A and B are shown apart, each in its own frame.
Chain A
C-alpha cells in the first residue's frame, strides 16, 4: 500500500489520523482488561476501606469516608503486618542465596543439562500450589523423620534460639512458614536471575581475572553487578507475593505466625469486616509500593545502561 517513500517520510498527512487510531485500537483490549480487573477492583477495595465500620453485611455498608479505618486497622494488625514483612524478607533473602547459586550453576556450569535443569526449576508449577504446600505438612510432620534429623543435628535448638521455632518441632513454626514461602517462590527468584546471569558475557569474567581479580573479587565486581537486574526483579517477584501470601502461614504456621494476607482473607470471607479488610489491604499495598520504590532506587538498576 505505502511506497518506500511514504514509509520514509511518514506518509502523506491524510494518512496520519488513521495510523494514530491504530495505536489506540491496539491499546484498547489491554486498557479494558485493566479497567475491569484492576481499576474497578481497586476502587471497590478503596471504597471498602472507607466503609462505615458500623455497617454490616446485613444492614449494608455506606462509604462514609471513615478514614479512621486505616488507623484502627494498622493498630490492630501491626503485628501481622510486621510479621509479614519480616517473613517475606527472610524468605526473599533465603531465595536469593539459594536461587543465585542455582541460577549461577545453570547459567555457567550446567552445559548440556541446562534445559533439563530449567524445566526442573519450573516443574513444581505442574502441580497445585496448595497440594505442594500441603505435602510440606507431611514432610515436616511432628512425628516424621525430618524432625528427628533436625533434632539430632540441633537444628530445632538453633531455630529456637533465633525464635523461629517453638519446642522440638518444625511444623507450625515460623521456620516452616518461611521455608514454605521460600520453596513456593524460589522459581520466581531463579528464573530472572538465570535470565540475567545467562546474559553475562563470560569474556568479562575472563577479563576480570586477567585484570588481577581473583574469582571471588571478579564475582563481586563484575558478575554480581551485571546480574543486578535479575536480583532486583527476582527479589521483587519474591518479596511482593510473599508479603501478601495467605496460604503458607495457615498450612504451616501456628496461631502466632498469622500473616497479614491470611488476616485480610479471614476478615473478608469469615468475619465479614469489610472496612478493616479493605483498609488493611490498602495499607499493605501502600507499604509494598513504598518499599519497592525505595528498594529500586537504592539497588539502582540505573547503573546498568
Chain B
C-alpha cells in the first residue's frame, strides 16, 4: 500500500486527551489469515468514530480486541494512560452494543439495563435505570421481555444497557444492521442525538458508508486488515486517497491517464488526448500512470454542440447508453470514445429535459473537484459485488 494510514485527525480542540483510545501496531493473526495488520489508530475522547469497511476487512475483529473479546497477536491498546491490551473484558471501562443486541432473554428490560451496574455492585439502580430508559424513550416498556419488543426497541435497550455504565468508550458493532431501512435512518439520528447528549466516545463499526457518513465525526475506512484512509466524512468523500475509498465511499469515475507533471499547484494529466489538471493537494500520484477520478455528480453533461454550464476540463465524443430517472436526479451512462462508460448524475433542476439514449454528448468537470490516484491500484477495488 502506498498510502500510509494517517493518525492525525481533524478534531475539535479538547480540554484533555487523557481518555483517548490508542491502538498501536495492533495485529490479529488466525491460523490461516491475518485479520488485522499492524493497526495504528487514535480515537480522541468524545468523538463519534466510525470503522467502515466491507465484511471481512477486520473492523469487527478490531472492535472485539478493544472490547477484550479477542486477544491481539501483537500491538497494544491504551485507554488514556492505562494499557488495556490484555485486560479481562469485564474489567475494561468499555461497553459494547452487539450486533443482534445480545439482550438477555430471561431478564426484563429494566433488569437488562441494570445488569452492568449490578455486576459492579451498585446498590440502588432504579433511578439510573429509569433515567436511561427515558433517554431511549422506553420507560413504559420496563417490564417487558426482549422477545416482546420490536427490533428498534431492542436496539435501544442494548444501547441503554451499555450506556448506563458510562463507559469511557462505547463500541457499536453494526448496531443497526438488523433493522429495516426506514428504522435505520431514524435510529441513526437517534444515536447521534444520544452521543451528543452523553458526550462519550463512540466507536461504531459498519459496512454502510451512508450510515458512517451520517453519524461519524471521523471515519476510518478499513480494507484487508489495514486502514486505507481516515478523516472527516467530507474529506474522505471529496478527496479519496485510494481507489478503494473512492469506490467504497460513494461512486467514482476513474479514467486512466498519463501524469505529465506538476505545474505550480496543479498536476497535469493527459487523458485520452485531452489534458486535465488536478489540484496538487488532491493528487496522490506525481508521475507515470494515474487514475484521474471524478465523482458522477461533479460531471456536467450537454448535448454535443450545446454549451456546458461552468465548464472546466471538457471531453467530447461520448454518447448516452443508459438513462435512469431517480427523482432528485437523473443518472446517465455515457460511453466515451475509448470505450469506458462514465457515470453522470444530474440534478433535476428542470433546466433541461432528459437526454435520450443515443444522444451525442460532451462531458466536463471543474478541475478542483478531480483527484488523482496511483495507477498501480485496482480501479474496481471497493465496488460492492452486487
Contacts and interface: CB of A to CB of B under 8 A. Distances in A.
B90 A213 contact: yes
A73 interface: no
B119 interface: yes
A204 B146 CA distance: 13
Interface in A221-236: 221-222, 225-226, 228
Q: How large is the interface on B (under 10, 10 to 19, 20 to 34, 35 or more residues)?
A: 20 to 34
Contacts of A153: none
Given A206-B98, A212-B120, A305-B148, A221 B115 contact: yes
Given A212-B116, A212-B120, A305-B145, A207 B106 contact: no
Given A211-B116, A213-B90, A222 B165 contact: no
23 contacts: A201-B102, A203-B98, A204-B105, A206-B69, A208-B115, A210-B67, A210-B68, A210-B69, A210-B162, A211-B90, A211-B95, A211-B161, A212-B91, A212-B116, A212-B120, A217-B119, A221-B104, A222-B106, A303-B106, A304-B105, A304-B106, A305-B145, A305-B147
Interface of A: 201, 203-204, 206-215, 217-218, 221-222, 225-226, 228, 303-305
Contacts, number: 73
B106 A210 contact: no
Given A206-B69, A209-B89, A211-B165, A225 B106 contact: yes
Interface in B38-78: 67-69
A211 B165 CA distance: 8
A222 B69 CA distance: 17
Contacts of B89: 206, 209-210
B51 to A, nearest CB: 17
B100 interface: yes
B90 A222 contact: no
A212 B165 contact: yes
B96 interface: yes
A203 B102 contact: yes
Contacts of B115: 208, 211, 213, 221
Contacts of B69: 206, 209-210
A262 B182 CA distance: 68
B367 to A, nearest CB: 50
Contact of A204 (B94, B104, B147, B148): B104
B104 A207 contact: yes
A290 to B, nearest CB: 27
A148 B115 CA distance: 51
Most buried by B among A218, A225, A305: A305
Contacts of B120: 212
Interface string B102-139: 11111000000001100110000000000000000000
Given A206-B89, A213-B90, A305-B105, 13 more contacts: A207-B102, A208-B115, A209-B69, A210-B89, A211-B90, A211-B95, A213-B115, A214-B88, A215-B90, A218-B90, A221-B115, A221-B119, A226-B105
Contacts of A218: 90
B102 A209 contact: no
Most buried by B among A208, A218, A226: A208
A206 B67 CA distance: 10
Contacts of A221: 104, 115, 119
A212 B120 CA distance: 6
Nearest to A214: B90
Nearest to A200: B105
A12 to B, nearest CB: 37
Given A304-B105, A305-B145, A211 B119 contact: yes
Nearest to B91: A212
